[in-house]
Amino acid sequence: CGGHGRGETMTKRCVKVLVRTRPTACFSQDQIQIDTQQSAVRICRREEREGSGLPSNQKEQWDFDFDKVLHNASQQDAFDSAAQEVVSAAVEGVNGSILAYGQTGSGKTFTMSGDSQNFKQRGITPRAIAQVFADIDEKPQLDFQVYASYMEIYNERIFDLLDDNGANNTDFQVTEDPRTKTMQVRGLSLVAVGTEEEALNVLFRGDQNRIVAEHQLNKNSNRSHSIFTLHIEQTSRIRTDVVLRSKLNLVDLAGSERLKKAIGDKIDDSLRKESTYINKS
C-alpha cells in the first residue's frame, strides 16, 4: 500500500488505504492526533520523565496519510467509504477485494461482519451482499448467476468453511482459473445464491465454523484469515455467448499480535503456534 499526495480523489486510485479508530473511553489524545479533514494521523512519542537532564536524539512524531480516516464512524459510514464503490464495480464486472487488517481486538471482525443481532450494526460483508443483489435488480437486461465460497487460512492451511462435515478439508491447491485467468482454490465449495437471504445464510453458516480462541487481548479472537467471495457471472439477454465474470473478496484477517501481550506468562503451545503463523502470513 503506497501513500499519496493530499487532494487526490479516491476514485483515481486502484488501491485505497483507510484507517478506522476503535472508540474507547480513554483515548490517547496526547499521543494520537487525528485530522479527518486531511485524512491524516500523527503519532507522538510519550513524554519522558521530566528532569532527566539527558538529550534526546530520537524522533518525536510520525505522520501518516491515508485515503480516509474514519474516527468515531458508524457502520454505514465505514461501508460507504471503504466498500460501496468496490461492490458496485464488481457487479459491473471488475474484480475487487476489501481487507480488514490490524491488531487483535481492534475491531476488524466487527467492521467486516458486525453484530448479527443488530441490523443497524451489521458490517461491510452483509451490507455488500445486500448491495450486490440490489444492483442486480436494477439491471433487468442482464442475466446474473451468483455463487459464494468461504474459506479460512489457519496455521498456513486452507479450510473450507462451507464443508460442515470436514470431508472436503484436504490439502487445497491454489491454481489459475483457465476461464477467468485469476487465482482460485481448487476444490473449494461453490454455493449458488439467488437472493440476499440465501447469501446471508451461507455467510452465517461459514461463520459458525471459524476457529476462535480466548487470550489476554481478546476473549473471542479469530485465529484465522477468512475470505468470503461472491463469484458473479453476467450474460446479456441479447448476446448470450458473452459471459462476464468477476469476484468480490471480503477478507477478515486474523489479528496481528505480540506474544508477550497476547499470551503473557501463560504457556500455551497452540496459541503460540497460531500467533507465529498469523504474524508470519
Length of the chain: 281
Rounded Cα distance, 46 and 30, in Å? 8
- pLDDT per position as a tens digit, 237-261: 887 788 899 999 999 998 765 555 5
Rounded Cα distance, 181 and 173, in Å? 16
Phi and psi of 45, rounded to 5°?
-70, 140
Phi and psi of 280, rounded to 5°?
-70, -40
Structure confidence at residue 214 (pLDDT):
45
Whether the per-residue pLDDT at 39 is higher than 90: the answer is yes
- pLDDT per position as a tens digit, 1-22: 333 334 444 445 689 999 998 8
Task: For residue 226, count CB atoms less than 10 angstroms from its CB and return exposed for 0-12, middle for 13-18, buried for 19 or more.
Answer: buried
Per-position b or e across 165-183, b if 16+ CB within 10 A of its CB: eeeebeebeeeeeeeeeee
Record the pTM: 0.81
Give the CA radius of gyration of the chain. 21
Q: All 3 cell numbers of residue 205?
A: 453458516
Which residue type sits at 241? D
Which residue type sits at 205? R
Structure confidence at residue 4 (pLDDT):
39
Structure confidence at residue 182 (pLDDT):
78
The answer to whether 250 and 86 are in contact (CB under 8 A) is no
The answer to whether 186 and 175 are in contact (CB under 8 A) is yes
Rounded Cα distance, 101 and 52, in Å? 38
Question: How sure is the predictor about 275, in pLDDT bands with cuts at 50, 70 and 90?
Answer: low
Q: Which range among 76-80, 100-104, 217-221, 265-269 shows the weakest confidence by mean pLDDT?
A: 217-221
Q: Tell me the average pLDDT across 140-161.
A: 92
Q: Tell me the average pLDDT across 69-88.
A: 95
Question: How sure is the predictor about 216, in pLDDT bands with cuts at 50, 70 and 90?
Answer: very low
Structure confidence at residue 221 (pLDDT):
47
Residues 6+ apart with CB under 8 A from 85: 10, 11
Check residues 265 and 135 and name the one with the higher pLDDT: 135
Rounded Cα distance, 24 and 27, in Å? 6
Task: For residue 54, count CB atoms less than 10 angstroms from its CB and return exposed for 0-12, middle for 13-18, buried for 19 or more.
Answer: exposed
Residues facing residue 5 across a β-bridge: none
Q: Tell me the average pLDDT across 51-73.
A: 82
Q: What percent of the chain has pLDDT over 90?
A: 47
Whether the per-residue pLDDT at 165 is higher than 60: the answer is yes
Q: Is the dihedral of CA 153, 14, 11, 147 positive or negative?
A: negative
Alpha helices in 156-255 (DSSP H): 196-207
The answer to whether 40 and 64 are in contact (CB under 8 A) is yes
Q: How does the average pLDDT of the chain come out, rounded? A: 81
The continuous run of DSSP H or E covering 84 comes out as: helix 84-91
Which residue type sits at 214? E
